[in-house]
Amino acid sequence: MGYGFIKSDDGREGHVFPSVVGEGSSGAPMALGFRQPPPTEDLRVTVNGKHYFLGDLAIRHSRIAHRGLSPTRSEGDDLRILFLGALSMYCRETMNNFYVVTGLPPGRMHLADDLTRQLRGDHEVIRQTGGQRFGVSIRIDRIEVVPQPVGTYWSEVLDNRGQLRASNPMLKGRIGIIDIGFRTSDLATIVDGEYSPAFSRTVPIGISTGYDTISSSLSTEYGLERETYTLDDSIISGSINVSGQPVDISGLRDQVFEELATKLLVEVRSQWQLAEYDHILITGGGGQVLEKYLRPRMSQALLVNDPVTANARGYFAWAYHNTQQAMASEAPAQQPTGQQPQTPPPAGSEQQPVGSSYGNLDQSPGQQSTPYGGGGQER
């Protein structure tokens, strides 16, 4: 649940949408039949009687919209609204149970208990899609809050069944993870498969710094006053419309991000002795932007596959891994005479665990909750 974007994954489908909440009381926009928006572009929810537009819909159609950037994100109820909006896309029944894994920055793990209390339990959400409204009940049976960048590590060493990739070279040695988010960046160290808090920290450098600089330049040069959350598409494409005409801002963007990468590299070198690290993983939405400036200065660095969703995918793999382990530990100890004892699938095995489900099913007491990976709080 990042400052910039919400990322989620249930092993079957993943979603990404801007962490923007807007009022939705003015009514839904009217589709004119030219396109069918994907679910993340039509996120309308009602929670506790209040109507909200989320993500791209809020950016386009809310009279009042905002992206919270405070360190604790404690203002209002935005974090819970974004969380429930993300989960509502995985609700396929009236009653939905979830096991959630999410993350906090290494420097904010002291807030884990507060986050758990805020999100765990029962929630009622009304979701609107097109002209239809339907209510869903969301129960968070279990929520696990971990240091955010370890999601990327799990996405590398676990497969999508939660089983260990036994030949992965990152199971041994010293691994650094540079997780570049919108407001902050996390530096995490893994030593022989163990997270090392002593060599992990959160630094107040993120892509939003570059957004602020670009926004200020656009205001000075073209008289454009833009909230940073409206700049995503223009910064990605390197072009912005001014009076109906495209203006190339790729040069400005590249200059700003190169300076930002240099500033981040200074922090990395002050925290780590880079020669001691066997691998350095660059991840996060900001990692996708800054890796071309960072990698040439760190020979052992690489950009992970799909860095925007790497943490969320890793959280799901970890949840699924834990679900498998729990099922194995609950298996009957007694075996019929003459049969071999049953064991859980070995690491790297392709065997699908019986009874596990990727989907979000209506579950009665005693059934397993749906594993779900949600992107960390700071991105």
DSSP string for residues in 280-302: EEEESHHHHHHHHHHGGG-TTEE
pLDDT in tens, 339-373: 444 433 333 333 222 222 223 323 333 344 666 66
In terms of domains, do 68 and 129 share one?
yes
pLDDT of residue 73: 59
For residue 139, the SS3 value is strand
pLDDT of residue 230: 81
- Round to whole Å and give the CA distance between 230 and 246: 16
pLDDT of residue 343: 38
Query: What are the φ and ψ backbone dihedral angles of 328, each rounded to 5 degrees?
Result: -65, -40
Domain of residue 77, CATH code: 3.30.420.40
* Residue numbers of the chain with a pLDDT score lower than 50: 334-368, 378-379
pLDDT of residue 271: 96
- Round to whole Å and give the CA distance between 111 and 277: 29
- Round to whole Å and give the CA distance between 197 and 143: 21
- Round to whole Å and give the CA distance between 93 and 136: 7
Quickly tell me which residue has 């909006």 as its tokens.
85
Domain range enclosing 122:
5-30+37-147
| E strand or H helix that includes residue 261 | helix 250-271
For residue 374, the SS3 value is strand
pLDDT of residue 239: 92
- Round to whole Å and give the CA distance between 15 and 1: 12
Question: What single-letter amino acid sits at 366?
Answer: G
| E strand or H helix that includes residue 362 | none
Residue at which a domain ends, from 104, 126, 147: 147
CA atoms within 13 A on the CB side of 252: 20
pLDDT of residue 375: 60
In terms of domains, do 187 and 47 share one?
no
- Round to whole Å and give the CA distance between 59 and 83: 18
Residue 243 is assigned to a structural domain of this protein: no
- Closest to 180 measured CA to CA, from 305, 346, 291, 97: 291
In terms of domains, do 122 and 270 share one?
no
In terms of domains, do 298 and 190 share one?
yes
- The conformation of residue 108, written as its DSSP 8-state character, comes to G
Count of the separate structural domains present in the chain:
2
Residue at which a domain ends, from 311, 326, 347: 311
In terms of domains, do 271 and 157 share one?
yes
In terms of domains, do 136 and 169 share one?
no
Q: How far is residue 71 CA from its own chain's centroid?
A: 17
The answer to whether 373 and 148 are in contact (CB under 8 A) is no
